[in-house]
Amino acid sequence: MSQPPLTVFYSPAYAVDGKMETVSKSKLVAGLIESGAAGEVRLEAPKPATRRELELIHEAEYVRHTLEDKGAFLEVGPWSRPLLDSILASTGGMRDAVKEALKNGRSGSLSSGLHHARRNSGNGFCQFNGLALAALEALKKVKTVGILDLDAHAGGGTFDILGDHPQVYLADVTVSSFDSWEPTDKNRHFYVDVEKPKAYLGHVEDALLTLERVDFLIYNAGMDTYEKAGGMKGITKEIILQREKRVVEWARARKIPHIFALAGGYKWGGLTLEQVAELHLETVKAFAA
């Protein structure tokens, strides 16, 4: 049986020229998708996140500060209309990806800058936590949601917002000491700080085991784990490609809707922005296959 083409959320508002990878690389990934490099994939513009939605995951005062204080610093740069529009569009993309996946089984958004954002503050280039918004959106229709965070860094913001939520499972495989959190419920939480690159995929399997019972998967597909994209020496492109295939295969075997976010991926290791975009395209390809 053939499945409908993968729909991925993106609008030109996501990207702000001249800013860091978090708000610039999506444009290149979208360009690669439009050229057909990921197979049959449709791009669709999401509705921006609303104040009401943001107040479900963040303190009202923090939301107000971000939306209205023109002197504010927005994690990736000083307040500006294009930057705010980028944050709102890419946060909204996560909600629309959930709606699409609930209909057609899978989706994604070219969003980055999500998982470090806490209930009452931004952190680590993340202003609003689109993963948390996506989880709450999915819970309107399913009983349990899993967030698999394979970014190089831990999703301390996601834990801050949803760690206590009984229907949300969190699995986090980190290779960096930036940001962290401690599991408070061994049935719903998995956290590992990887020490040896050869053990990486085994840890990913352990993370998936924790998510065994979830009805919906949100995958934070950071490429900054890769040794040349800011990650851990010894985590090769081959390992990353296997990881992407495995996550998709796992979700499909369980017949659960699944979505991805781009998450981290940087030029720090010597890559060009084009090469970073090509890495992220591997996630899109795995979802589209």
Residues that bind Zn ion (CB under 5 A): 151-153, 222, 224, 264
Nearer to Zn ion, 257 or 260 (CB): 260
As a whole number of angstroms, the longest Cα–Cα distance in the chain is 54
State CA 276 to chain mean position distance.
Answer: 15
Please report how close the Cβ of residue 186 comes to Zn ion at its closest, in angstroms.
Answer: 25
Q: How many CB atoms lie within 10 A of CB 59?
A: 14
Please report how close the Cβ of residue 25 comes to Zn ion at its closest, in angstroms.
Answer: 13
Nearer to Zn ion, 155 or 257 (CB): 155
CB-based contact 110:130 (threshold 8 Å): no
Q: Which residue has the tokens 């009401």?
A: 52
Please report how close the Cβ of residue 169 comes to Zn ion at its closest, in angstroms.
Answer: 20
Nearer to Zn ion, 99 or 118 (CB): 118
From residue 34, how far is each of 47, 98, 143, 221, 259 by CA, in Å? 20, 22, 35, 20, 19
70-108 b/e (C-beta count within 10 Å ≥ 16 → b): eeeebbbbebeeebbbbbbbbbbbbbbbbbbbbeebbbb
Please report how close the Cβ of residue 151 comes to Zn ion at its closest, in angstroms.
Answer: 4
- Helices 200-210, 237-253: axis angle to 10 degrees equals 20
Nearer to Zn ion, 100 or 172 (CB): 172
Rounded CA-CA distance 240/181 in Å is: 24
Please report how close the Cβ of residue 153 comes to Zn ion at its closest, in angstroms.
Answer: 4
Please report how close the Cβ of residue 268 comes to Zn ion at its closest, in angstroms.
Answer: 11
Nearer to Zn ion, 152 or 235 (CB): 152
Query: Which residue is nearest to Zn ion, using beta carbons?
Result: 264
Measured between its terminal Cα atoms, the distance across the chain in Å is 14
- Helices 60-68, 81-104: axis angle to 10 degrees equals 130
Please report how close the Cβ of residue 35 comes to Zn ion at its closest, in angstroms.
Answer: 27
- CA-based nearest residue to 216, from 289, 150, 281, 134: 134
Nearer to Zn ion, 137 or 151 (CB): 151
Nearer to Zn ion, 100 or 224 (CB): 224
